[in-house]
Structure 1
Amino acid sequence: MIWEAWLSLSIALGLLVSVAARLASTDVLALAGLAILIVVQNLTGSTHLPETSTAVAGFGNEGLITIALLFAVVAGLEATGATKLATGWLLDRAQSETGAKLRILIPVASVSGFLNNTPVVAALMPVIDDCCKRLRISPGRLLLPLSYAAILGGMCTVMGTSTNLIVCKEYAAAYGGEISFFQPALIGVPATILGLAYMILLSGKLLPDRRAAVSATDDPKKYTVEVQVDGAGPLVGKTIEAAGLRNLPGLYVAEIQRGDQVIPAKPDAVLQGEDALILVGALDSVVDLRKIRGLLTPDDQGRKLEEPAWRRTLIEAVVSSRCALLGKTIREGRFRSNYNAAVVAVARGNRRLEGKIGDVRLENGDVLLLEASPSFMHRAKELRDFYLVSQVSGDTVRRHERAWIALTIMAAMTLVAALNITSILAASMVAAIAMVALRCCTANEARRSIHWRILIVIGATIGIGNAMETSQAADAIATGMINLAGNQPFWTLAITYLATAICTELITNTAAALIMLTIAMGAAEALGVSQAPFVIAVMIAASASFLTPFGYQTNLMVYTVGGYRVSDYLRFGLPLTLIVFSTAMVLIPVFFPF
């Protein structure tokens, strides 16, 4: 290979490794890789690397613009509660765990074929939490199947996932091919049916009885709460036992932090003013903890809130990948000032955090228990910094009277696109405008709903994929795959699928799909066979992320909330991965001959 090919390949591999190692956010790493290619091309003038205009052309890709518009359409559905309206009435009738699975997984898989699955999962998490409380089962029994069902349903149409849409548009733009709206369903629907049957029948055996991230029955060693002793309060001078902190249900004092000292929390330890008490246990018991006079939120943050105490409530929020405070400690990020909310407790997976709450460095998927006004839910939803998973008493839907209007707009958009009356871009553009014009959401909410990081990753990886093609690195890799497969189209297809599936678990599914699409097209051209089966294989494999919490956003959303461990994903997701792979390998050659 020429040096340009080695450079392009190194950047692609570097992106894979750096994202897997979490050296920085995916959008920053993707932009950095694209920047290196552009700078090198400008300095050397090499014709084997894309020129600047070509390298950044991905940011004007039709699929990328369509995805941005679809985010705005989903904003209307979220703001009106239309998603809950479409599925909540069915779920409320469930009388058993199996009945709940049937009523959740089938509708979710169906809806996800026409909506981005991330907001579908986000909207249904509170509904599922209520259902689990009513049925007295662990949310962990339903949340991971919810995520997987959304992924399976999204594989069935071009619009179902951003991955399918961007691959379809890139295939048309770069290679002149066409994948119709329902063509992925030829593989996706059978795979979804088998996958849903597997989850309904076997999830009870393969998924342990994990508890929700905030539950009074949780293992008390998992969650961290911090309170501060009021210097002018009644607890100063009392021992832990005399203060009533020894017999708290589901909570125990782990340590006392006094300045730079860490004092063992023995029953006879005497409390002093401004002591920080680190408690470990069930976060539901924080409600009782707050009733004890003389205990404050860390650094008296609760008293500094703008809302009076009688109007505040406890709200559970999950930190999203778009949170502005990611990588910062709660104190550094000035959480209270930015959100008018005090962080009461933090949960991360199944392990408790060390030290003070203010020193916790926020990560994607962290569960925060906040003391705030109920209006925080609306503000946070507009900011898109959190996935809210707890419900405040009372109706939190702002424009529920327009839910049917939002559903009608979505149905019309889907029908028009599916019947090829107009392009998906035109249909989504009209639908986004209609959502704002008919007041299903405001223009500001529509703008805020756009996931800019996803769009940046898509645009940058299209440029990296172009570099791999221009430098002939993709052709070299494709030749290697063909030789490994013995020049057999079927085995080359299988290797392409597996390579894409592995990449999508390491980096974002869209980035993996765009990189592998270039390689797959090179393999098809070298074999002299149709490109269609390879395109479909890349689309299905890039979407079918079931093995880790990090390969797909919905998997990460339910990770902490469901109390899961990484091993749960591997144990429950591996059979599902094999089911989808086997189905694809059997049906792709049938419906998309070589």
Structure 2
Amino acid sequence: MGWEAWATIAVVVLCIAALARNVGGPDIILLGGLALLTAMGIVGSGEAVAGFGNEGLVTVAALFMVVTGLTQTGAMAMIVQPLLGRPTTVPVAQARLMLPVAGLSAFLNNTPIVAMFLPVLSDWCKKTGIAPAKLFLPLSYAAILGGTCTLIGTSTNLVVNGMLLASPDLEGFNLFDIAWVALPALVVGLSYILLTSRWLLPDRGSALDLGDDPRQYTVEMIVDPAGPLVGQTIEQAGLRHLPGLYLAEIERNSEVLPAVAPTTSLHGSDRLVFVGIVESVVDLRKIRGLLPATNQVFKLDAPRTQRTMLEAVVSDSCPLVGKSIREGRFRSTYNAAVIAVARNGQRILNMKIGDIVLRPGDTLLIEAHPSFARQQRNSRDFFLVSQVEGSTPPRHERAWLAMGLLVGMVAVVTLGYLTMLQAALLAAVAMIVTRCCTGTEARRNVDWRVLIVIGAAFGIGQAMANSGAADGIAGFLINVVGENPWLTLLAVYIVTSIFTELITNNAAAVLVFPIALASATSLDVNFTPFAIAIMMAASAAFATPIGYQTNLMVLGPGGYRFTDYVRFGVPLNLLVMLVTVTLAPLIWPF
């Protein structure tokens, strides 16, 4: 190997060390590594930025927008929540999450599956009180393992099969051929996750801090008579274990039902009184079938889908101080509706919103157009005005439309009419055109850090190929094992796995395939076990966040560090390797 190869290896090692020590964000570290390789001339400027136009990266960006439409309409919750339920323990939650994800990933691309589950899983963590770090890596790993089970489950399998068909005297695989190895690996992998995550995955606090928050709001909601909650019990409607929020009472036909039992059935037009913190109030108002109790929100000028929730602290110079909200004509004065009032940590019960007399220092939870914050930020009427993130009401009336767009996207890809990129771009545009989400919401929900990491990883992978580092490492490891086919198969798996963790899965498969084919030919043995090993090793990337794009996608939401992947992923890598290297030669003898 020349100096370029050694320099590339040094940069890669430096990036891994920086990631392990958590000295900066993965996007900054990998972008810095790519900049070094470009400055040394190992990878050209065009090659360095080519990864940012890669089809896979653009597909991920488009899928973020598709998921925004699904989230903003509540369609994603309608799809996933029945599968997830309300588990009481982490292993049960992991099992309910991983089984459907693995099953879907066997027939659909795992990237959109993970992208679709991310926002719903975040909400699920809030409702169950389970730390996100216990669920997001299992989500990614289940999608990866499920994707290995069929020929179409991951693009890597298709790439390897394409190279088989392009090679003389070699035959391709049928749809379920790889399942003979992948299904046992899936069972072993999911069992490992369920049995060891308690100790190997971090527990960095719950998804929602339920500490003493002085802003305890009393919020009233009405059960929509035409909604899906009518006839359900409090437990079935998911209103019993809301984090940071509790149902204080129900008002039904002028009768008050205090200390509501979980078996109490909901009736149309029931008035529900909740007490809790603002984050949970936001979640409450996204539940399909609940409407704001105050009719003032229906009199505002802006459509409800264009409004947001804001918090405003009443100043002592506010002209409404000493007057009730109704008497002061709050809605007419500010074009905003008061949803709830917090006062020095005291819960204002047994009083309708319009009858509350405002005092200086009261914190108002308001529904209004986002322009309210700009208009009132410097006003003397309020000490402070701030917008509550993620509080735009869902467009429930468009949920089925968003779901139809998702089904259409999956169908045209599965039937082979369009590529994943083409279908994702069309679905993203359709979500905006049909107003399932706005362009601003779609842009805001694209995780640009993930895209930067993916793009930089492609550039570093190109440097590994250009410099000869990849060929040098592969040739050295395979030559070390001599002429034993089992050891050669093991070496092929290890080399492919290392390259997958450091470069990308498809690039690793393409680099190792000709080396493995030459080794099998020289040994005069059946190449099929080697092809299976390349497929499994190139997909089964668990030990680093950059090894597989779904690992990158859960890095931020799960609050993980590089060492979390190493500690939890390396044993899983070894287990899958053991299953593959043991079974492949038994099913397809040398």
TM-score by length of 1: 0.55
**In 2, Cα distance between the equivalents of 1:552 and 1:179?**
30
Q: Per-residue displacement from partner, 1:54-110 (whole Å, max 9, x unpaired)?
A: 443333322222222222222222222222211213444768877655544323434
In the alignment, what sits opposite 2:417?
421
Residues in 1 aligned to 2:448 and 2:202: alpha-carbon distance in whole angstroms: 36
1:437 alignment counterpart: 433
User: Which residue of 2 is the match for residue 377 of structure 1?
Assistant: 390
Query: For the Cα contact (< 8 Å) 1:207–1:568, is it kept in 2?
Result: yes
1:62 is aligned to 2:55: yes
**Contiguous gaps of at least 5 residues in structure 1:** 42-48, 133-137, 217-222, 228-282, 288-300, 315-339, 341-370, 380-395
- Of residues 176, 180, 192, the one that matches 2:186 is 192
1:164-223 deviation per Cα after TM superposition (whole angstroms, max 9, x unaligned)? 5589779989x989999988767555433443455557778998999736566xxxxxx9
2:482 alignment partner, SS class: coil
Aligned to 1:422, the other structure's residue is in SS state: coil
CA contact (8 A) 2:101 2:113 kept: no
Shift of the alpha carbon at 1:125? 3.3
Separation of aligned partners in 2, 1:378 and 1:165: 37
Whether contact under 8 Å (2:543, 2:570) holds in the other structure is: no
Alignment correspondent of 2:401: 405
Show the counterpart of 2:538: 539
1:224 deviates by: 11
Specify the alignment match of 1:520 in structure 2.
512
Contact 1:5 1:472 in 2 (8 A): yes
Matches within 5 A, 1:89-488: 89-92=82-85, 102-111=95-104, 114=108, 115-130=112-127, 132=128, 139=130, 144-145=134-135, 147-157=137-147, 188-197=182-191, 212=206, 214=208, 311=340, 375-378=388-391, 398-488=394-484
Task: Flag the 1:572–1:13 CA change in 2: closer, same or farther, 3 A.
Answer: closer
Amino acid aligned to 1:139: I
Distance 1:534 1:50, change over 3 A: farther
> Residue 139 of structure 1 aligns to a residue in which SS?
coil
| Matches of 1:51 and 1:143, distance apart in 2 | 38
- Preserved contact between residue 4 and residue 467 of structure 2 (Cα < 8 Å): yes
Deviation at 1:480, TM superposition (A): 1.4
Distance 1:447 1:537, change over 3 A: same
Deviations 1:93-134 (A, max 9, x none): 76887765554432343455642415514312323543x4xx
Q: CA deviation at 1:156?
A: 3.2
Alpha-carbon distance between aligned partners in 1 of 2:476 and 2:66, rounded to the nearest angstrom: 43
- The answer for the alignment partner of 2:11 in structure 1 is 11
Distance 1:105 1:207 in 2: 16
Partner in structure 1 of residue 380 of structure 2: none
1:148 alignment partner AA:
P
Q: Are the equivalent residues in 1 in contact too, given 2:513–2:531 (CA < 8 A)? A: no
Distance apart, 1:313 and its partner CA: 8.2
Q: Check whether the contact 1:462–1:514 (CA below 8 A) recurs between aligned residues.
A: no
Counterpart position of 1:78: 71
- Rounded to whole Å, the distance in 1 between the matches of 2:541 and 2:7 is 24
- Indicate conservation of the 8 Å contact 2:30/2:456, yes or no: yes
Q: 1:103–1:401: structure 2 CA closer, same or farther, 3 Å change rule? A: farther
- Quote the offset at 1:559 in angstroms: 5.2
Cα-to-partner distance string for 1:482-531 (whole Å, 9 max, x where unaligned)? 13333556545544555666788xxxx68464775565346436526668
Bigger mean CA offset, 411-420 vs 184-193? 184-193
1:431, distance to aligned residue in structure 2 (A) = 2.0
* 1:7 partner letter: A
Shift of 1:475: 1.4
Give yes or no for contact 1:5–1:468 (8 Å, CA) kept in 2: yes
State the superposition RMSD in angstroms: 5.4
Distance 1:378 1:586, change over 3 A: farther
Change (3 A) 1:466 1:566: closer
Q: Distance in 2 between matches of 1:449 and 1:537?
A: 32
Distance 1:201-1:553 versus aligned 2 partners, 3 A rule = same
With over 3 angstroms needed to count, the CA separation of the structure-2 counterparts of 1:578 and 1:469, relative to structure 1, is: closer
Output one character per residue of 1:5-45: Cα deviation in whole Å (capped at 9) or x when no partner: 2223222333222332333333333333333333333xxxx
Q: Which amino acid aligns with 1:408?
A: G
SS of the equivalent of 2:476 reads: helix
- Cα deviation, residue 477, structure 1: 0.7
Is residue 38 of structure 2 the alignment partner of residue 38 of structure 1? yes
Matches of 2:202 and 2:451 in 1, distance apart? 36
**Alpha-carbon distance in structure 2 between the residues aligned to 1:411 and 1:176:** 33
CA distance in 1, matches of 2:478, 2:100: 40
TM-aligned CA distance change 1:4 to 1:156, over 3 Å: same
Mark the CA change 1:74 to 1:18 in structure 2 (over 3 Å): closer, same or farther: same
Answer yes or no: is the 8 Å Cα contact 2:11–2:33 preserved in 1.
yes
Deviation at 1:553, TM superposition (A): 4.7
State how many pairs are aligned. 425
Structure 2: how far apart are the matches of 1:428 and 1:159? 23
Contact (CA 8 Å) 1:77, 1:407: kept in 2 or not? yes
Q: Is the 1:544–1:577 Cα contact (8 Å) retained in structure 2?
A: yes
* Alpha-carbon distance change, 413 to 309 in structure 1, aligned in 2, over 3 angstroms: closer
DSSP-derived class of the 1:376 partner: coil
- Summarize the Cα distance change of 1:522–1:558 in structure 2 as closer, same or farther, 3 Å threshold: same
The verdict on how the C-alpha distance between 1:66 and 1:574 changes in structure 2, with shifts beyond 3 A counting, is: closer
Tell me how far apart the structure 1 counterparts of residues 213 and 484 of structure 2 sit (CA, whole Å). 59
The residue number in structure 2 matching 1:24 is 24
- 1:327-354 per-position Cα deviation (integer Å, ceiling 9, x unaligned): xxxxxxxxxxxxx8xxxxxxxxxxxxxx
Aligned twin of 1:272: none
Q: C-alpha offsets along residues 311-331 of structure 1, whole Å, 9 cap, x if unaligned?
A: 5889xxxxxxxxxxxxxxxxx
Q: Provide the residue aligned with 2:257 in structure 1.
A: none
CA distance 1:513–1:82, change in 2 (3 Å):
same
Q: State which drifts further: 199-208 or 421-430.
A: 199-208
How many angstroms apart in 1 are the aligned matches of 2:39 and 2:386?
49
For the residue of structure 2 that corresponds to 1:56, the secondary structure is: helix
| Distance change >3 Å, CA 143–CA 87, structure 1 → 2 | farther
Q: Matched residues in 2 for 1:406 and 1:9: separation? A: 46
Pair 577,168 (structure 1): closer, same or farther in 2 beyond 3 Å: same
Mark the CA change 1:510 to 1:571 in structure 2 (over 3 Å): closer, same or farther.
closer
Shift, 1:148, TM fit: 0.8
Measure the CA separation in 1 of the matches of 2:385 and 2:585: 56
Aligned counterparts of 2:341 and 2:390: Cα–Cα separation in 1: 12
Structure showing greater radius of gyration is 2
Shift of 1:467: 2.7
Percent pairwise identity: 31
